[in-house]
A = this chain, B = another copy of it.
Amino acid sequence: MDFELLKKAVWQANLDIVKRGLVELTWGNASGADRDAGVMAIKPSGVGYDDLRPDNMVVVSLATGEVIDGSLRPSSDTPTHLVLYQEFGRIGGVVHTHSNAAVSWAQAERDVPCLGTTHADHFYGAIPVTRRMREEEIMDAYEHNTGVVIVERFREGHIDPGQIPGVLVACHGPFVWGETPASAVKNATVLESVARMAFQTYMLNSKAAPIDQALLDKHHLRKHGTESYYGQD
């Protein structure tokens, strides 16, 4: 089997998170899934972005995490990506960064509320923060359990990962997804931008209120609903 297209898309997404200013040093990784083939491709661990090439992306089984293609070790965050693909059945790309503003909210352990239309255009409500992980979750299978607490947060909060394509892991940072690696990069860019603006909004007005439901519906559905009228499609 040949994963050339998938590896190229994932390589491009890994370069784009750097180009968009979401990543310093090697603090980030992007993956993409080919659900028909039952695999995902992901950045190799600890390799500098300058040295990335499409053919050193690592392909692993979505079901087992076993390496199927590639000679390098996959990103240490691979088990987190796998849980997200397994539990959020329709996503095709995942991005993890330590982008500045998003991490600040994750460290403050606060959801990023939907304060404006920039946010509403891409996330249909607040972007949640997980609970802190418990000692036993950290000691054993930490990266797998990072995915588990994300899924728990969406399940218990009755949040649809198709409508809110991202999360803040408490004291850590954002994981963001989309239908493709490229759309996951786009959503990660949006998250950083709205996190920065929400920060400044609260500094100016500590009682700033989320937007009204009608405006949230309007903006989100204008772009994402079945009657969307944005763009050229």
Q: Which residues of A contact B (CB under 8 A)?
A: 24-25, 27, 44-47, 72-73, 76, 98, 100-101, 103-110, 115-118, 132-133, 135, 138-139, 142, 171-173, 186, 189-190, 193, 196-205, 208, 211-212, 214-215, 218, 222, 229-232
CB distance from A35 to the nearest CB of B (A): 27
B108, B115, B190, B222: the one contacting A171 at CB < 8 Å is B115
Complex: A142 Cα to B227 Cα, angstroms:
15
The answer to whether residues A172 and B117 also contact, given A100-B193, A105-B204, A107-B201 and a CB cut-off of 8 A, is yes
* Copies of this chain, whole number: 4
Residues of B within 8 A of A104 (CB): 197, 200-201, 204
Q: Which 3 A-B pairs have the closest CB atoms?
A: A46-B231, A104-B200, A108-B204
Given A46-B231, A76-B229, 13 further pairs, Cβ under 8 A: A100-B200, A107-B116, A108-B208, A110-B205, A115-B171, A116-B172, A117-B172, A117-B173, A118-B173, A132-B212, A138-B214, A142-B222, A203-B203
